[in-house]
């Protein structure tokens, strides 16, 4: 359907599957001066699918000028709305939640590399593979206001967009990004809720973030204003990278952006990351992150008036030049308030380092307050540092430096201020406060599910620990109501069998297949896939941990160019039958990640892993999941069920994961053949009942 004139949609619940190609939208709004009021009608796609990683299609494409889309509810698609080459576009008061998102492979104990996101190229719309509520391409002077996009992977993605305003939206609880920008400049991002856009985190076990974030600014994005936003509990609160163009040519960057009075607290990695660029970071709250600010290779950057409390390091900058750090408040950062350093050598393949002076030099650091710090200012291989009227209270070592630090000047008459005048839009919005979400604060509130961050709105049994005595520690989470254990298997003692939300539940596992079924009754809610559940009706939720015993025998072999398994079908057979393995082991789990050699004085590249096991399973449907870099094949009873044998297809991190669904019962032989070519390597095997 093509809409070419203004209209009001009849309010109803429309079940329409889109084409599986994003080039064929379900609806197109095309023309000039058009207003389409959806009147709170709901457009629902992928009705032949159940899970969000299966969602497909583009619901609405907008092309033209002076077009308004409002009051639309769209879910169940890969992309809810895409706008191309639009001027004066307005999208307001709409909800594009519960669209596409990946099935995450990382669990409470181990992360999986296939969950990492990567944004390095988007000239061919590579970002579309992640899905989005809104995808704007080559749009100018647009307004995106008062919309909601939650419980998907990405909220708003902008490509080559200029002079737009994104304000008063709620893009939270997504598994990837709240807002992502690529080659987009002169935009105003104001007063949005961008909280809990996160993946790659398990409290107390690992904190990777996997390049998720509240705000992403990537590749030549300049002169944008980010003010009065809340981007807490996200992989990075704010993630800016100059771009591949800068790395390849040594020019450009993401420059002259103002990041003013936002809250970037509780990030598993960096509250703010800005690299290879010059920007202004002013009056922000950045608490309880790993790094408050990671500013590698930043130049002519102002970091003024911010609060850094209880991070590992408040401000960390390697190879920065001509930066000003003033009027900030540092309190309780575990390793240092400010850490500046350089490496002796730069990567030889970086064009940037060949063309740019990358010495750590010329810092003005003035009138900052350091309280309860281990080290106030930590300096290595840095020169021309001016320190002016900084205050230190209850700080073990105010200034830590070694002999590599040169030209340190203490308390000159004055200090140069690089902040400059604020953009006028900041003053126009000065009465706005940072929006506050209705959720508890702290990194321990990030509770990841296999589909993304838990949004606090539906009943969920969250596993937080298994101790050595096979005791399982859960948080029973959900809306106001009551829960009861109504069914269980292989469960021994439990701390309780019913209760209210939230509550801790501790159970013992007495067999190999622990199953818990809980029943919830209480208030109405929307489940994790966006389906409404009425009040005072029974809703089942639960947990299963079926861990059949698998005894693996694992052998590693070296391969050479004359027996290259990438090119020769019979290479592995020839090698494993005729050559001796350079390492052999027995294990109950296949969970390997190699950043270098397989072992001490053993190969790091050009090796083969062969793993064999016999497994005895209950009758059922199983998902075999495997994350492997570079090549892998899986056989069950001699039948090949996973075949990924072309390294040229391995482009993105998610390409490392492979799955097969298979019916199994009784004893079966499993064989895995894995080839590592060069660099990083991983081999992670999972067998799960469905």
pLDDT digits (tens, 9 = 90+) for 511-528: 889 999 999 999 999 999
User: What's the predicted TM-score (pTM) here?
Assistant: 0.96
Residue with tokens 């600010």: 293
Q: What is the pLDDT of residue 421?
A: 85
For residue 17, give the nearest of 54, 72, 63 by alpha carbon: 54
What is 80-141 written as a DSSP string?
A: EEEEEEEES-EEES-B--S---------SS---GGG----S--TT-GGGGG-EEEEEES-BS
- Residue 69 Cα to chain centre, angstroms: 29
Residue 537, classified by CB atoms within 10 Å of its CB into exposed (0-12), middle (13-18) or buried (19+), is exposed
Model confidence band, residue 549 (pLDDT cutoffs 50, 70, 90)? confident
Residue 595's pLDDT is 87
Confidence of residue 496 (pLDDT cuts 50, 70, 90): very high
Give the Cβ contact number of residue 459 at 10 Å. 24
Q: How large is the average pLDDT for residues 347-360?
A: 91
Tally of domains in the chain? 2
Residue 568 shares a structural domain with residue 538: no
CB 651 within 8 A of CB 643: no
Nearest partner of 121 among 41, 183, 199, 188, judged by Cα: 183
CA–CA distance, 616 with 196 (Å, rounded to integer): 41
In angstroms, the CA 113 to CA 110 distance is 10
CB atoms within 10 A of CB 2: 11
Residue that finishes a domain, picked among 514, 546, 578: 546
- For residue 589, tell me if it sits in a domain: yes
Q: Which CATH number belongs to the domain containing residue 591 in this structure?
A: 2.60.120.260
* pLDDT at residue 416 tops 80: no
Whether residue 222 is predicted with pLDDT greater than 80 in this model: the reply is yes
R_g of the chain computed on alpha carbons: 27
Question: Tokens 């004359």 belong to which residue?
Answer: 562
Does residue 78 form part of some domain? no
If DSSP codes are grouped into helix, strand and coil, which group holds residue 319? coil
In a domain, 224, yes or no: no
Residues 579 and 514 in one domain: no
pLDDT in tens, 143-156: 999 999 999 999 99
Helix (H, G, I), strand (E, B) or coil at 499: strand
- Specify the pLDDT at position 412: 81
Give 307-317 pLDDT, tens digit per residue.
999 999 999 99
* Beta bridge mates, 668: 615
192 found inside a domain: no
Average pLDDT over residues 213-238: 98
pLDDT at 242 over 70: yes
Residue 451: how many other CB atoms lie within 10 Å: 19
Tell me how far the alpha carbon of residue 152 is from its chain's centroid.
12
Q: How far apart are CA 325 and CA 388, in angstroms?
A: 10
Q: Which residue has the tokens 């490509």?
A: 159
End-to-end Cα separation, the chain, in angstroms: 39
The one-character DSSP state at 653 is G
Per the structure, the complete domain to which residue 613 belongs is given by 552-689
> Which of 512, 546, 580 is the C-terminal boundary of a domain?
546
The structure tokens 């029973």 sit at 476
Q: Are residues 665 and 560 in the same domain?
A: yes
Query: Domain ends where: 479, 511, 546?
Result: 546
Do residues 525 and 582 share a domain? no
DSSP 8-class letter at 18: P
Q: How many CB atoms lie within 10 A of CB 585?
A: 12
Which residues of 192-300 form beta strands (DSSP E)? 201-202, 206-207, 213-218, 225-227, 236-241, 258-260, 270-275, 280-282, 285-287, 291-294
Q: What is the dihedral of CA 527, 531, 537, 542, to 10 degrees?
A: -40
Strand partners, 280: 258, 302
157 touches 134 (CB < 8 A): yes
pLDDT of residue 348: 84
567 and 541 share a domain? no
Q: Is there a single domain that holds both residue 483 and residue 511? A: yes
Structure tokens at 238: 């704010």
Is the predicted pLDDT of residue 678 greater than 90, yes or no? yes
Average pLDDT over residues 402-418: 82
C-alpha distances in Å from residue 496, one per residue of 28, 132, 520, 521, 543? 55, 41, 15, 17, 16
**Are 127 and 157 within 8 A, CB to CB?**
yes
pLDDT tens by residue, 370-388: 999 999 999 999 999 999 9
Predicted local confidence at residue 349, as pLDDT: 84
List the helix and strand counts (H, then E) for the chain: 4, 58
* 350 located within any domain: no
Mean pLDDT of 287-293: 98
Instruction: Give me the pLDDT at residue 411, please.
Output: 81
Indicate whether 504 and 568 sit together in one domain. Answer: no
Do the beta carbons of residue 346 and residue 323 sit within 8 Å?
no
Q: Which residues have a Cβ under 8 Å from the Cβ of 26 and sit 6 or more positions away?
A: 1, 16, 17, 18, 19, 43, 45, 57, 58, 59, 60, 77
240 or 417, higher pLDDT: 240
Of the candidates 549, 455, 624, the residue with the CA atom closest to the CA atom of residue 105: 624
Residue 512 sits in the same domain as residue 591: no
With contact defined as beta carbons under 8 Å apart, do 309 and 289 qualify?
A: no
Rounded Cα distance, 337 and 292, in Å = 9
Tell me the C-alpha distance between 408 and 394, whole Å.
Answer: 23
Q: pLDDT tens digit string along 464-486?
A: 999 999 899 999 999 999 999 99
Distances (CA, A) of 372 to 291, 335, 400: 17, 11, 15
Partners of 595 in beta bridges: none
Average pLDDT score over the chain = 95
- The answer on pLDDT for 417 being more than 80 is no
Q: Cβ distance 210 to 111 under 8 Å?
A: yes
Q: Give me the percent of the chain exceeding a pLDDT of 70.
A: 99
Residue 76 counted as domain residue = no
Residue 415: per-residue pLDDT = 66
196: exposed, middle or buried (Cβ count in 10 Å: 0-12, 13-18, 19+): buried
Neighbour-count burial of 150, counting CB atoms closer than 10 A to its CB (0-12 exposed, 13-18 middle, 19+ buried): buried
Q: Are residues 600 and 676 in the same domain?
A: yes
Distance CA 627, CA 669 (A): 19
Q: Are 685 and 578 part of one and the same domain?
A: yes
Residue 197, domain member (yes or no): no
Would you say residue 404 lies in a domain?
A: no
CA distance 503 to 495: 11
Lowest-confidence region among 233-237, 334-338, 679-683: 679-683
* Pair 57, 45: CB distance under 8 Å: yes
d(CA 55, CA 46): 5
Percent of the chain residues past pLDDT 90, beyond the cut: 91
Q: Are residues 558 and 607 in the same domain?
A: yes
Place 548 in a pLDDT band, splitting at 50, 70 and 90.
Answer: confident
Which two structure tokens, joined as six digits, stand for 590? 């296949």
pLDDT above 70 (res 418): no
pLDDT at 256 over 80: yes
Q: Are 91 and 147 in contact (CB under 8 A)?
A: yes
Same domain (yes/no): 556, 526: no
């Amino acid at each position: 359907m093509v809409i070419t004139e203004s209209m009001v949609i009849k309010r109803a619940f429309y079940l329409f599957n889109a084409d599986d190609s994003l080039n064929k939208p379900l609806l197109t709004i095309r023309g000039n001066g058009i207003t389409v009021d959806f009147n709170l009608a709901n457009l629902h796609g992928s009705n032949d699918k159940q899970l969000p990683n299966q969602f497909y299609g583009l619901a609405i494409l907008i092309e033209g000028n002076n077009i308004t889309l409002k009051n639309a509810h769209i879910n169940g698609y890969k992309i809810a709305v895409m706008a191309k080459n639009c001027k004066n576009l307005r999208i307001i008061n709409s909800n594009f939640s519960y669209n596409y998102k990946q099935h995450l492979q990382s669990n409470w104990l181990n992360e999986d590399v296939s969950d990492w996101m990567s944004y390095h190229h988007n000239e061919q719309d590579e970002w579309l593979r992640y899905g989005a509520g809104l995808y704007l391409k080559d749009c100018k002077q647009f307004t995106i206001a008062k919309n909601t996009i939650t419980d998907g992977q990405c909220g708003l993605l902008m490509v080559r967009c200029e002079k737009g305003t994104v304000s008063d939206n709620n893009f939270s609880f997504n598994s990837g990004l709240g807002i992502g920008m690529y080659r987009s400049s002169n935009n105003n991002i104001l007063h949005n809720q961008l909280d809990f856009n996160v993946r790659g985190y398990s409290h107390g076990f690992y904190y990777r973030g996997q390049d998720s974030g509240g705000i992403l600014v990537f590749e030549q994005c300049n002169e944008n204003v980010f003010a009065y936003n809340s981007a807490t509990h996200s992989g990075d609160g704010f993630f800016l990278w100059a771009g591949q163009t800068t790395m390849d040519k040594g020019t450009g960057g993401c420059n002259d952006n103002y990041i003013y009075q936002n809250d970037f607290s509780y990030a598993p990695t960096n509250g703010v990351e800005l690299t290879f660029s010059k920007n202004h970071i002013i009056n922000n709250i950045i608490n309880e992150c790993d790094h408050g600010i990671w500013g590698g290779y930043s130049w002519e950057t102002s970091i003024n008036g911010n609060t850094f409390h209880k991070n590992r390091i408040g401000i960390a900058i390697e190879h920065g030049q001509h930066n000003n750090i003033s009027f900030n408040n540092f309190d309780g950062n575990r390793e240092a308030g400010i850490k500046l350093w350089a490496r002796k050598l730069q990567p030889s393949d970086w064009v940037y380092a060949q063309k740019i002076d990358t010495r750590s030099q010329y810092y003005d650091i003035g009138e900052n307050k350091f309280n309860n710090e281990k080290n106030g200012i930590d300096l290595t291989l840095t020169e021309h540092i001016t320190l002016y009227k900084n205050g230190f209270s209850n700080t073990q070592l105010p200034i830590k430096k070694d002999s590599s630090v040169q030209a340190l000047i203490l308390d000159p008459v004055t200090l140069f201020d690089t902040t400059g005048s604020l953009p006028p839009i900041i003053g126009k919005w000065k009465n706005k406060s940072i929006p506050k979400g209705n959720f508890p604060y702290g990194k321990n509130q990030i509770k990841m599910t296999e589909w993304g961050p838990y949004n606090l709105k539906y009943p969920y049994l969250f596993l937080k620990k298994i101790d050595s005595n096979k005791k399982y520690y859960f948080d029973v989470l959900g809306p106001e109501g009551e829960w009861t254990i109504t069914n269980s298997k292989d469960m021994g003692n439990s701390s309780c069998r019913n209760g209210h939300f939230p509550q801790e539940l501790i159970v013992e596992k007495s067999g190999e297949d622990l199953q818990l079924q809980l029943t919830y009754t209480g208030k109405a809610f929307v489940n994790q896939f966006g389906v409404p559940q009425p009040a005072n009706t029974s809703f089942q939720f639960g947990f299963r941990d079926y861990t059949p015993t698998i005894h693996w025998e694992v052998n590693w072999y070296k391969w050479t160019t004359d027996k290259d398994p990438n090119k020769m079908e019979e290479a592995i057979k020839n090698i494993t039958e005729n050559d001796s393995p350079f390492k052999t082991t027995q294990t109950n789990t296949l969970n390997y990640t190699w950043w270098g050699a397989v072992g001490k004085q053993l190969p790091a590249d050009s090796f083969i892993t062969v793993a064999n096991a016999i497994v005895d399973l209950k009758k059922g449907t199983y998902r075999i999941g495997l994350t492997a870099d570079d090549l892998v094949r899986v056989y069950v009873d001699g039948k090949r069920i996973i075949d990924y044998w072309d390294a040229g297809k391995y482009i993105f991190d998610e390409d490392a994961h492979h799955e097969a669904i298979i019916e199994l019962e009784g004893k079966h032989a499993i064989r895995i053949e894995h080839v590592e070519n060069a660099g990083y390597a991983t081999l992670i095997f999972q067998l799960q009942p469905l």
